[in-house]
Amino acid sequence: MKDIIRDSTFGQIVRLLSNNKLLLYPEEDPNFKCPKGYDDNTKLPEAVVRERTRSFFSTASNPHNSYIADEEAATTPESKNEGGSPGESADKGENADLGRASTARLERTKSRPILPSESADGTILVDWYMTDDPEFPQNWSSGKKLYVSFQICVYSFAVYVGSSIYSPALGGVMDDFNVSAVTGLLGLALYVLAYGIGPMIFAPMSEIPAIGRTPIYVWTFVLFVILQVPTALVDSFAGLLVLRFLAGFFGSPCLATGAATFQDMYSMVKMPHLLAFWAGAVTLGPALAPIVAGFSISAKDWHWFAWEELWLSGPICLMMVISLPETSAPNILLRRARRLRKLTDKVNLRSQSEIDQADMTASDVAYDALIKPWQINLLDPAVAFTTVYTALVYGIFYSFFESFPLVFPVMYGFNLGESQLPFLAVVVSLLICIPLYCYYYYYVVEPRVKVSGFGEPEERLIPGLIATFFVPAGLFLFEY
């Protein structure tokens, strides 16, 4: 638990205020013994200088950049990738050799020291100390991984609650500000628009090693929580729309970066299970929010949707400030390199991410944020299909927040709270679909992957293809 608090935003503030005398890292302990290769004359293997790609954030490295100390090159782990394990293959593509990955995992359990490598200009590349280095997120205990995953899920849940929790307030907004239903729905539309725009800025920032993921998560979420107070007190429609847009914008990092946090901690084989539960959280939030807000707004007034969002997101934000550690491996190694330089007075100790970052330009960030997503969609039909299909389903899902108030109160005599109860059907569907998907992936996909690799991306779209038939069926039943 101490390392979780130390690596959290709260821990970093404590370290800053104490001049790094509290919550020490191993390198700051007086009894710390510098690993072999960092503070002695050990002959180091030569680092293979990789060609810098067009994108700064492409950090795949040469398969033989890590060396287990006192072993032949033939026994080295397959990767020195800062975003991957010291013993995993650098090839994280669809056809990765999982046999090598399994062997690498066995190597990690043997806890062998890893020698840093040295480039031609004398730069020593700071790496993980051991094959089972506890600082490497994929080597964390299962409990620590699940705790971090839980925080990302409830954080995402709270942000997505913030979208649809506004819909029961529409009637009150229309009456107080004398606006039409279409105009009043801008409070929902601008929130959703903003958390679609935000990731284009925050996602590339979270990949910059000097920043990392946790500061982006925490400080934007702090602003998100603060914005709920003026939203609950606002007395102008224009002010309400501005606050809703800003709330969606500052709540958006979880939308694009949440999956990256899971990838930091879990192997590509196991990550889909986490993604299923994360997707469940972001689907459950918009479904439950109108139910809660519907009854409270009926009893009080429309401002209560913001107070309820504050009560939900505030404790989650506090938990994240105190106990959400950094998961970005490039950021962890960059900070390790800084501590080693201070300890050894050797200025040639640098992490690979520092070397890459030195050449970063604003155009690199803009390229990854604005151009690469479209490039991937245009060049990969599987990605393009999931993008278009997800957008379609998302649009259909959010159309119910507008249509339910037009159907159930008018045709069935439901009050404001009761008219939101049909959203409980989403809970039932998640309780059915998530276990089925995990069962399919564990018993069908994983055995095939372990034998023949990941195969083609389209093979993993089969459950989605089957589920597509239920979307028009559900729309037909609702219309009927």
Q: Do residues 312 and 332 share a domain?
A: no
Question: How much is the pLDDT for 430?
Answer: 93
Q: Do residues 88 and 18 share a domain?
A: no
Neighbours of 240 (CB within 10 A): 25
Q: Do residues 346 and 441 share a domain?
A: no
DSSP helix/strand/coil, 124: strand
Question: How much is the pLDDT for 356?
Answer: 82
Q: Do residues 342 and 272 share a domain?
A: no
Q: What is the CATH number of the domain that holds 171?
A: 1.20.1250.20
Let me know if residue 369 belongs to a domain.
Answer: no
Q: Are β-strands 117-118 and 114-115 bridged in parallel, bridged antiparallel, or unpaired?
A: unpaired
Q: Do residues 314 and 355 share a domain?
A: no
* DSSP codes, 422-460: GGHHHHHHHHHHHHHHHHHIIIIIHHHHHHH-S--GGGG
Q: Do residues 439 and 307 share a domain?
A: yes
Q: Do residues 84 and 3 share a domain?
A: no
Let me know if residue 421 belongs to a domain.
Answer: yes
Please report, in tens digits, the pLDDT of each residue of the chain (480 residues total). Answer: 788 999 999 999 999 999 999 999 999 998 888 888 887 666 666 655 444 443 434 343 333 345 555 444 333 333 344 444 454 444 444 444 444 444 445 445 577 888 888 888 888 899 999 888 999 999 999 999 999 999 999 999 999 999 999 999 998 999 999 999 889 999 999 999 999 899 988 988 898 888 999 999 999 999 999 999 999 999 999 999 999 999 999 999 998 899 999 999 998 888 999 999 999 999 999 999 999 999 999 888 899 999 999 999 999 999 999 999 999 999 999 999 999 999 988 888 999 988 887 777 778 777 877 788 888 888 888 788 888 888 899 899 988 888 888 888 888 888 888 888 999 999 999 999 999 999 999 998 888 888 888 877 777 778 888 888 999 999 998 887
Q: Do residues 334 and 319 share a domain?
A: no
Let me know if residue 246 belongs to a domain.
Answer: yes
Q: Do residues 316 and 450 share a domain?
A: yes
Q: Do residues 386 and 296 share a domain?
A: yes
> d(Cα 385, Cα 373) in Å, to the nearest integer?
13
- Residue 24: give the domain boundaries: 1-33
* DSSP codes, 376-389: HHHH-HHHHHHHHH
Question: How much is the pLDDT for 115?
Answer: 85
> d(Cα 35, Cα 57) in Å, to the nearest integer?
29
Let me know if residue 9 belongs to a domain.
Answer: yes
Orientation of helix 271-299 relative to helix 304-323, angle to 10°: 150
Orientation of helix 372-379 relative to helix 381-412, angle to 10°: 100
Let me know if residue 374 belongs to a domain.
Answer: no
Quick one: the chain helix, strand, coil %, rounded to 5? 65, 5, 30
Let me know if residue 433 belongs to a domain.
Answer: yes
Overall domain count for the chain: 3
Ranges of H-type helices in 168-303: 170-177, 181-184, 186-206, 214-233, 237-250, 253-265, 271-299
Let me know if residue 371 belongs to a domain.
Answer: no
Let me know if residue 366 belongs to a domain.
Answer: no
Q: Do residues 119 and 193 share a domain?
A: no
Orientation of helix 470-479 relative to helix 381-412, angle to 10°: 20
CB 258 within 8 A of CB 277: no
Q: Do residues 89 and 225 share a domain?
A: no
